[in-house]
Amino acid sequence: MYISISGGCIGCGACVALAPEVFELNAANQARVHSQSPQDPDVQAAVRKAEQYCPKQIIFADADD
């Protein structure tokens, strides 16, 4: 699973709340991926939720990596 975030983050923190193993907010309150390609199925599921619930729809997770 390769995860990317495109532009337009509003810093709501939803992705960080759902999957802190993968996402964090930087000093400018922009989400970034701090740990790529999670192997844990629970974390992958949390990333899918973040992808679904991001209010800006800017999180993308590829199934394979």
37: contact with ligand SF4 by CB under 6 A:
no
47: contact with ligand SF4 by CB under 6 A:
no
What phi-psi label fits residue 37: left (phi over 0), alpha (psi between -120 and 50 degrees) or beta? left
The answer to whether residues 19 and 32 touch, using CB atoms and an 8 Å cutoff, is no
1: contact with ligand SF4 by CB under 6 A:
no
- The rounded distance, in Å, linking the Cα atoms of 2 and 29 is 22
10: contact with ligand SF4 by CB under 6 A:
yes
Tell me which residues touch ligand SF4 (CB under 6 A): 5, 9-15, 31, 54-56, 58-59
